[in-house]
Chain A
Amino acid sequence: MTAKVITITSGKGGVGKTTNAANIAAALALTGDKVVCIDGDIGLRNLDVVLGLENRIVYDLVDVVEGRCRLAQAMIKDKRIPDFFLIPAAQTRDKSAVSPSDMVNLCDQLRPDFDWIVIDCPAGIERGFRNALAPADLVLVITNPEISAVRDADRIIGLVEAEEKGPAKLILNRVSIDMVKRGDMLAADDVVDLLAIELIGIVPEDPNVLVSSNQGVPVVLNEKTKVGKAFRNIALRIKGEQVPFLDLDEKDNFFGRLGKVFRGANH
């Protein structure tokens, strides 16, 4: 095995980086690959709570870098998904505790034992971003169909190109098809026109994402949701498969329709 490093970034905060990192990493592991995700947001760690692993942290990324523990001791193994691990960020330190070359060295140590290393990048374009970018083989830029998020995504794409880590690929997160149809939300085509990079995922707006993070269970584990399917499709595209984008307009799946029939009959 020689792992590929996927860095998940966005520039702007709050667009869904951590949700995407958690779910794409989990979806890759669900395909049978061996995956470790690294929380790159030192001082503001979150990937642990989104994945529901917060109570199992003993050592963190900074402990590894500063030699207080062995790498294996900082890796938390997920009990729900085989071959899925998390290296949490330190909560009480800041981004300067780790350097870009520390991240390159860490990933080089992990590469032989994994198929994928997924790094959740902090918001912004400073040290934490440089740390997460340094070891990247593939950069995924997350944006929302929102004017400020698209602008920041463009800036990030430019920086990724300047560091010769491109071409980055795009994930458009939190798309509400009803708003797109009304003309009140940028469509995926518009965002691709503006940013001029390859689209690798369209993730629908879905309350299940919040429900899942409340429970600490990645939404990809929920087979019934369209958003889970969107993340599983992204994982397949990362692995080189040609998977068509979901039809977000097709509201009801078979079970949804069946449910309606039963609810109707009970009236």
Chain B
Amino acid sequence: MFRKKSTSAGSAKDRLQLVLIQDRTNLSALDLDQLKNEILEVLARYVDIDRRAVNISMEQDGREQRLRADIPLKAATRANRR
């Protein structure tokens, strides 16, 4: 409402958003990173992906958590199709 993102209440809300997801899923920030890396490793075995374009995140939907993955695939080129 009358608040900029830089207020202390704003940082409380941002921090709580992350910590509540970790509490509810029992996944720490480190666990989530590892989960992402393992997902990417598996995907890379089948398709060509640009790791920097990948977005895997945990979102809150009411009192439920959702793991959302946006993984753009690279077009197969003649050379690597072979």
Contact = CB atoms under 8 A, between A and B. Distances in A.
Same complex:
yes
Interface string B1-30: 111100111101101110110011000000
B63 interface: yes
Contact of A183 (B3, B15, B17, B20): B3
Given A151-B23, A154-B23, A194-B20, A186 B2 contact: no
A82 B37 CA distance: 65
Given A151-B19, A155-B23, A190 B9 contact: yes
Nearest to B4: A183
A185 B23 contact: no
The secondary-structure label for the interface of chain B is helix
Interface in A160-191: 161, 180-187, 189-190
Nearest to A197: B63
Interface string A63-104: 000000000000000000000000000000000000000000
Nearest to B64: A196
B9 A194 contact: no
A155 B20 CA distance: 9
Contact of B9 (A151, A184, A193, A197): A184
Interface size, A (range): 20 to 34
B2 A183 contact: yes
A147 interface: yes
A145 to B, nearest CB: 8
Contact of A151 (B13, B16, B60, B63): B16
Contact of A147 (B4, B7, B12): B12
B3 A154 contact: no
A183 B13 contact: no
Nearest to A184: B8
A196 B2 CA distance: 22
- The 10 lowest CB-CB distance pairs between A and B, nearest first, are A183-B7, A183-B3, A196-B63, A196-B62, A190-B13, A184-B8, A147-B12, A154-B20, A183-B9, A186-B9
A196 B9 contact: no
A151 B4 contact: no
Contacts of A186: 9, 12-13
